[in-house]
Homo-oligomer: A and B are copies of this chain.
């Protein structure tokens, strides 16, 4: 990797960290440049402007997350429905917990993106949640009839729990987070039985 490519990568990495913690408006190009040990104008050699930089990071977050999702799906392809649902709910949360800045970024920008960000970029995020719904449905379809309550009720609960756990990314130690997730899982699993 060339020197220039390395710098660009560092800008993306540190931009992710700052945007996910401080937010878009509160993060100046000077802040990012300082982390990368360059001066702010040097960023313009790699990105046309701040908005484009943000959108590049946005894209990368989505790509990384989809990659993780695809991996995980393939490894649980042959598991029981219970294990599949557990992986989808708890596994996604653990991914966001362990890749904290991706998790915080998703939390901050998934439904409250900064104004003036390209609507196309916003749509991509929504497509992502649609994909999760498709996966969820495919898991549920494989099960014998009459095991679960109506699918749409399961979907609503699933997403409320998934979105709700975003709130707890910051405030819990690893252990507490896992305990919490399993508590939620237990209620969810029992609740969706017929």
Contact = CB atoms under 8 A, between A and B. Distances in A.
Nearest to A114: B26
A3 interface: no
Nearest to A154: B187
B183 A191 contact: no
A187 B115 contact: no
Contact of A157 (B112, B115, B153, B184): B184
Interface stretch (A40-48, A68-76, A137-145, A164-172): A164-172
A135 to B, nearest CB: 18
Interface string A19-34: 0001101100000000
A149 interface: yes
Given A107-B112, A160-B168, A189-B191, 14 more contacts: A26-B115, A111-B167, A111-B170, A149-B186, A149-B187, A152-B183, A156-B187, A160-B164, A160-B165, A164-B164, A186-B191, A187-B188, A187-B191, A187-B192
